[in-house]
Amino acid sequence: MGSIPTYSRHEERRNDVKNEQMRKIPKVDEVLQHVSLEQVKAEIPHSLLLFAVRAVADDLRARILKGEPVPEGAFGCDSIAAKAKALAEKEFAASLRPVINATGVPLHTNLGRAPLSAAARQAVDQAASSYCNLEYDIERGERGSRHAHLEYLIRRITGAEAALVVNNNAAATLLCLAALSRGRECVISRGELVEIGGSFRIPEIMAESGAILVEVGTTNKTRLSDYRARLNEETGLILKVHTSNYRITGFTEEASLEELVRLGREAGLPVVYDLGSGLMTELKGIGEPNVADGLRAGADVVMFSGDKLLGGPQSGILIGKKAYIAKMKQYPLARAFRVDKLTIAALEATFRAYYEDARACREIPVLRMLQTPAEELLLRAGALAARLSEIPGVKAEAVVTENEIGGGSGPGVSLPGAATAVRVGGLTANALEKKLRTGERSVVGRIAGGKLLLELRTILPEEEDLLAECVRNAAEGKEA
Ligand SMILES: *Cc1c(COP(=O)(O)O)cnc(C)c1O
């Protein structure tokens, strides 16, 4: 019976302790005056710092109320100020941050696909920092067209009659289907109903566009006769989609683009080719069709991504017959999908490199990465390993690997590569991977066979100093 009052006394004592602890939490203003916040005040807005100090104090209060043990030091202005500073800095830091791509995948969609060429970066910087003739004809002193900047150049480089640039290839597909085949049937092989990265699925894009999907053939075999049998007065266009991220092998058959073009001509229908990756040159060992192949086959419209094998900014490029491109330009969605001056600047500089294939291969990072010979990568992997091995606690060695292209390009293509395998004493491969990934400069490598590999194909030579610094920080156990 006596247990109840005892319990109450116990509870009372606990509340006394809690109240006493609560009183120890310094006032917000007092924390804000702390010397350790002097410098950070110049950079971080007052309201954010205030928010952070309150958040740290609130957290302390919550811990006290829960009866968690709170060490004496946690109540000091210095401790609260330090925590608030870290919190505010974290919130104020950019969310979009540079990453060292050590995965060996040049067109890594999660890592932003193609890094831009020096010329493209300069063009973006210039377009960003001043006014420009985006929609202004300087010669005539009157309103101009934003399409003009790229159209002439793309026509010259590709040999197409006309060109139009939109936000990405998904937008290009939607615009093309809507403008040329809305309310009419669009014939496509069952083997080409692709999904690109989750949200882009041909049947769904088709539905959005208002074109009516007509599937012909089977998953593995579609003949020209299958297409021919489904053409009628409701047909709007014939679509061929490059199965850019998978291959159908074995007992297969497909109608070639040339055959479809002939059929389209007979029936008076446009033939549209969704190529996906915008490969402009012959690249050894890649085995991807390129833009010229599409035009040579006679497709009325060819579309491709600016940030896949073209190596430029995110964009979708439509090229082909003038009448069709004009229809798309006038279609209302073209306004919704139009690109801004930064994209135009980057894409113009990227395309300009293609006047000469050799120049493009030299200047465009993605092309350079794809073509670096395995021997060169192995040499760099060895040099990096030697350098990293000088850091106390680090063991590194060069290993031979295989790389993929990424970005849903060249499925099944493997490029001979080389990596530096790194180990840090006392850390598992997974722990090291996490430390590097979450460090001040994020390094994303890959784990294979229980080892952390840093793939040289995608590490820019000028990033190697910084990379070595990141490994040193990880080895010294510095906090991220
Ligand atoms: C990548 C791809 C797309 C989508 O292109 P985004 O530029 O990523 O929007 C569409 N079709 C094909 C065949 C592709 O390979």
101: β partners: 444
Q: In angstroms, what is the span from residue 320 Cα to ligand 1's centroid?
A: 18
Phi, psi of 307, rounded to the nearest 5 degrees: -110, 15
Q: Which two tokens stand for residue 136?
A: 């202004």
Q: Which of 305, 317, 339, 347 to mutate to test the pocket of ligand 1 (most atoms within 8 A of CB)?
A: 305
Q: In angstroms, what is the span from residue 148 Cα to ligand 1's centroid?
A: 24
331 touches ligand 1 (CB under 6 Å): no
Q: What percent of the chain has a predicted confidence (pLDDT) above 70?
A: 98
| Model confidence band, residue 148 (pLDDT cutoffs 50, 70, 90) | very high
Distance separating alpha carbons of residues 386 and 451, to the nearest angstrom? 17
Considering the chain, what is the average pLDDT of its residues? 94
Residue 85 · residue 93 · CB < 8 Å: no
Contacts for 289-292: CB closer than 8 Å, 24+ residues apart: 289/242, 291/158, 291/319, 292/158, 292/159
Output the pLDDT for position 389: 97
Residue 11 · residue 19 · CB < 8 Å: no
Output the pLDDT for position 198: 64
pLDDT mean over 246-274: 94
Output the pLDDT for position 5: 57
| Per-residue pLDDT at 480 exceeds 50 | no
pLDDT mean over 464-477: 95
* Residue owning the nearest CA to atom 5 of ligand 1: 169
User: DSSP of 270-298, one letter per residue?
Assistant: -EEEEEEE---S--TTT----HHHHHHTT
* Local structure of 338: helix, strand or coil: strand
Q: In angstroms, what is the span from residue 206 Cα to ligand 1's centroid?
A: 14
Tell me: the pLDDT tens digits for 99-136?
999 999 999 999 999 999 999 999 999 999 999 999 99
Q: Which two tokens stand for residue 204?
A: 């769904």
Give residue 251's Cα distance to chain centre. 35
The amino acid present at 25, given as its one-letter code, is: I
359: β partners: none
pLDDT mean over 359-385: 97
| Model confidence band, residue 7 (pLDDT cutoffs 50, 70, 90) | low
316 touches ligand 1 (CB under 6 Å): yes
Residue 312 · residue 277 · CB < 8 Å: no
309 touches ligand 1 (CB under 6 Å): no
| Per-residue pLDDT at 75 exceeds 90 | yes
* Local structure of 456: helix, strand or coil: helix
Distance separating alpha carbons of residues 348 and 165, to the nearest angstrom? 11
Residue, of 372 and 2, whose pLDDT is higher: 372
Q: Which of 113, 196, 204, 339 to mutate to test the pocket of ligand 1 (most atoms within 8 A of CB)?
A: 196
Distance separating alpha carbons of residues 407 and 411, to the nearest angstrom? 9
Name 405's Cβ contacts closer than 8 Å, sequence gap at least 6: 105, 106, 107, 286, 309, 370, 413, 415
Tell me: the pLDDT tens digits for 322-331?
999 999 999 9
Q: Which two tokens stand for residue 128?
A: 């960003």
Tell me: the pLDDT tens digits for 221-246?
999 999 999 999 999 999 999 988 88
SS percent in the chain: helix, strand, coil, step 5: 50, 20, 35
Q: How many CB atoms within 10 Å of residue 202?
A: 21
C-alpha separations of 2 from 7, 10, 14, 73 in Å: 9, 13, 19, 38
* Residue owning the nearest CA to atom 6 of ligand 1: 169
313 touches ligand 1 (CB under 6 Å): no
pLDDT mean over 25-47: 94
pLDDT mean over 404-424: 90
Output the pLDDT for position 282: 81
49 touches ligand 1 (CB under 6 Å): no
Distance separating alpha carbons of residues 262 and 285, to the nearest angstrom? 30
Output the pLDDT for position 392: 96
pLDDT mean over 216-225: 94
Tell me: the pLDDT tens digits for 437-456?
999 999 999 999 999 999 99
Q: Which two tokens stand for residue 112?
A: 């932003």
Tell me: the pLDDT tens digits for 284-312?
778 888 999 999 999 999 999 999 999 99
Q: Which two tokens stand for residue 103?
A: 């995965």
Output the pLDDT for position 6: 63
Query: Which segments within 173-332 are labelled E, that is strand?
Result: 185-189, 195-196, 200-201, 212-216, 235-241, 271-277, 301-305, 316-320
Residue 128 · residue 342 · CB < 8 Å: yes
Residue 425 · residue 92 · CB < 8 Å: no
Output the pLDDT for position 460: 94
Give residue 128's Cα distance to chain centre. 21
* Residue owning the nearest CA to atom 2 of ligand 1: 276
Closest ligand 1 atom to Cα of 194: 13
pLDDT mean over 245-252: 86
Give CA torsion, residues 294, 298, 304, 309, to 10 deg.
20
Residue length of the chain: 480
